[in-house]
């Protein structure tokens, strides 16, 4: 029987700044049953997609992306903040509320034609996931889907990901 994952997520108001309701997943990670359930649910949904690589978005995307990669018999690729990766990289920038940020992956991490799944803990405005998807496509990879533990439906981040299949395990309807 599947566990209701919502009950393991803690919301911290006004973190890291006023007005933000921060979704804290550490309360889920510290319990083995819901942590395992997240991986099982992602694996059940994306099984059969012939996924060859999973791209986890720094940093909480690594926590779910790596065990899911093992479960799906896929490789794991970290998408990292600038200047963290040691070899040649490709980079994509995305908009923040004030200014821009960027993500990088190693240029040899994905082969042309590979089916790639993008994983993160949370979908908010969608800028981070859209930039990661562009990185995959820059290297010739095919975005087979995007998986999130939590989706903030009221921010409609999906509008930036309309070309892809987006699957979220928990939907938050309002702030």
Contacts of 152 by beta carbon, 8 Å cutoff, 6+ apart: 23, 122, 123, 124, 172
Token readout for 149 is 């533990």
Instruction: Report phi then psi at 105, rounded to 5.
Output: -135, 155
Residue 57 CB, nearest distance to ligand AMP (Å)? 5
Q: List the structure tokens of 111.
A: 């082969």
The reply to whether 114 belongs to the active site is: no
Residue with smaller CB distance to ligand AMP, 52 or 57? 57
Strand order in the sheet with 53-57: 75-79, 53-57, 115-123, 142-152, 166-172
Contact 28, 8 (CB under 8 A): yes
Q: Catalytic pick from 60, 80, 104, 114?
A: 60
> Which residues of the chain form contacts with ligand AMP (CB under 6 A)?
20-23, 57, 60, 120-129, 157
Tell me the pairing of strands 89-95 and 100-106: antiparallel
Q: How far is the CB of 82 from ligand AMP (least distance, A)?
A: 15
The Cα–Cα gap between 96 and 77 comes to: 24
C-beta closer to ligand AMP: residue 38 or 52? 38
Strands 100-106 and 166-172, sheet pairing: unpaired
Q: Which is nearer to ligand AMP, 52 or 170 (CB)?
A: 170
**What is the nearest approach in angstroms of ligand AMP to the Cβ of residue 71?**
21
From the candidates 92, 93, 97, 165, give the one annotated as an active-site residue. 97
Q: Is 159 a residue of the active site?
A: no
Name the residue nearer to ligand AMP (CB basis): 105 or 124.
124
- Rounded to a whole number of angstroms, the minimum distance from the CB of residue 109 to ligand AMP is 19
Which residues are tagged catalytic? 60, 97
């Amino acid at each position: 029987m599947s566990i209701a994952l919502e009950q393991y997520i803690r919301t911290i108001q006004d973190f890291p700044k006023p007005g933000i309701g921060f979704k804290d997943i550490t309360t889920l990670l510290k319990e083995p049953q819901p942590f395992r359930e997240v991986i099982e649910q992602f694996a059940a949904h994306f099984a059969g997609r012939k996924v060859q690589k999973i791209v986890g978005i720094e940093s909480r995307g690594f926590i779910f992306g790596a065990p899911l990669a093992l479960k799906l018999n896929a490789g794991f690729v970290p998408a990292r903040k600038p200047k963290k990766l040691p070899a040649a990289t490709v980079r994509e920038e995305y908009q923040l509320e004030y200014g821009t940020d960027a993500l990088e992956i190693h240029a040899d991490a994905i082969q042309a034609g590979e089916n790639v799944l993008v994983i993160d803990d949370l979908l908010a405005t969608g800028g981070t996931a859209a930039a990661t998807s562009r990185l995959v496509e820059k290297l010739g990879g095919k975005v087979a889907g995007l998986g999130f533990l939590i989706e903030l439906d009221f921010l409609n981040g999906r509008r930036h990901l309309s070309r892809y299949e987006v699957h979220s395990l928990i939907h938050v309807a309002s702030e």
